[in-house]
Structure 1
Amino acid sequence: MIYTLTLNPSVDYIVKLEIFQLGELNRTVDEAKFPGGKGINVSRVLNQFGTRSKALGFVGGFTGAYIEQYLQNEKIDSDFVQVEEDTRINVKLKTGQESEINAKGPTITEENFTLLKQKIMQLGADDLLVLAGSIPSSLPKTTYEDLVKICSESNAQFVVDAEGDLLKKVLPYQPLLIKPNHLELGELFETTITNAEEVIPLGKRLVEMGAKNVIVSLAGAGAVLINSETTLLAEVPKGEVKNSVGAGDSMVAGFLAAYVETSNIEEAFRFSVASGSATAFSLGLCTKEKVEELLSQVHIKEIR
């Protein structure tokens, strides 16, 4: 069973206006709302492929209830820890260019965190946990480390989609997959990356540090997968980029859906790239139909 973890989920409120005037009354021309958070995105994309998952994390108040109901309507299981304060609302303001206002989120108590750890202690060797996104300020900075230690002790596999020190500190516990983009990889090693060739030696270092599989996305310039046995380079499909939000989460979900089904790394990588592209070319998260449409455009070659 795949479990996804979102420590600080949100209700994302998307507001489109012709023009925004500061200090004036502004009226929307379009609006939408849906659950936000990297782990939740992974669950929603997995659901597109018919791959079951259960969403974990913290929710509270009327906004938390909205997220639970939304996932239930999409037939996605959840088992959130309830907190006292409301789940946050993030506002995305679209006026030609996009501006974001992200709320801080509720306070997570030590008791809340203990309840989450107890849920993760129930995972076993047939389970996989996806840890994605940032850690709320009210939780310890060692939160990811604490949780992957639990997975390591119970032989549950895990995937981490995070940046900087959060990522570095979990590598010794051998994550099944990590997925930095080229900017995050560059920041990790204090360098600038402009092409796939520059990715390869750094990706190999991450494998040496403990990662079983590393996928690095380079936006329109392709993607690279590196593990101890192979290095694969993928050309991404061509299309109009409408949305970058959730593309990385879609790559993680596409990889897992195919890997669980086939155990084939190259096929999982192909689905990963197609899923990320399908989301980038859509206004929301990708659909199974859009991913399948793009699969034939994902050309993969092995780098020797």
Structure 2
Amino acid sequence: MMHNPPGPAALTTAERAIDARFRAVLARLPRHGPAGWLTEFAVFGLKQAWACVFGGAMLAVIFAAHLWYPTGSAFARNDVLTLAAVAIQIAMVAGRLETLRELRVVVLFHLVGTAMELFKTQVGSWSYASDGLLRIGAVPLFSGFMYAAVGSYLVRVNRLFDLRFTRYPRRWLTAVLAAAIYANFFTNHYVYDMRWLLIAAVGLVFGRCVMQFRIFRLRWRMPLLLAFLLVAFFIWLAENIATWSNAWLYPSQLGGWHLVSPAKLASWFLLMIISVVLVTWISPPQPPDDEQPPTLRPDAATRRRRTPVR
């Protein structure tokens, strides 16, 4: 089901064992025709679900707590969510689903997200229930894990799909753009909101970049901007589940829940740039094999062991 490229994006020990089992089953399926396409589609869904395991587990806990956590319990629901998030993170590392190297990025996502949460709750952009002890000011500590879930997804999807990039922009330029985006999340409350100019800048910087990814037998291509938009859309869907579960609420939802405004997609789209830049800290973007210098390409023996690309 997975593919194990050389270098920092290699699968973890647990993932290699799972990969071997799935490959043994999937290799018996037809390679061509509708059945072959259906196999690719099914593997794509399985890989995406596996990449989302941190965020999916967090969302499931939030959803379950909303439905079944007893009202008036002596132990605050927000504290339960925080302890559950810590347990999920420990399980991810102990189960070798994340490496300690990747954990550094996840922790950095947590810190960057919590700093934003402290500011945004203070200015009234959204709010949390006031119960619980495991919190900093008005922000329960589980909130940082929601940002960490995005980081976990990105580092995992990088290795599960063996992501490669054609015409990836200079990393220093993407870092400057990400810093400007992060600053705008704070300054837009006091000066002109630059988000639409920043979105235009993202288009200029990443517009020529094409992402290549392997599903099972085939390698596919997609404009990187489209990938950013698709991930932002699914984060928006998850946000609607979380706000319906009263994990947090926007001011317009305090009188009764409704869908989060689709305009929020712009914020999530911009957050993707910050997220990708943080991930490139441990996993620099790699070009396709045929675009790498000869000294950096996998040797012939490694290429022969790989599944042929069509």
**TM-score, length-scaled by structure 1:** 0.25
**TM-score, length-scaled by structure 2:** 0.24
Larger relative strand fraction: 1
Larger Cα-atom Rg: 2
Larger relative helix fraction: 2
Higher relative contact order (CA 8 A, sep 6+): 2
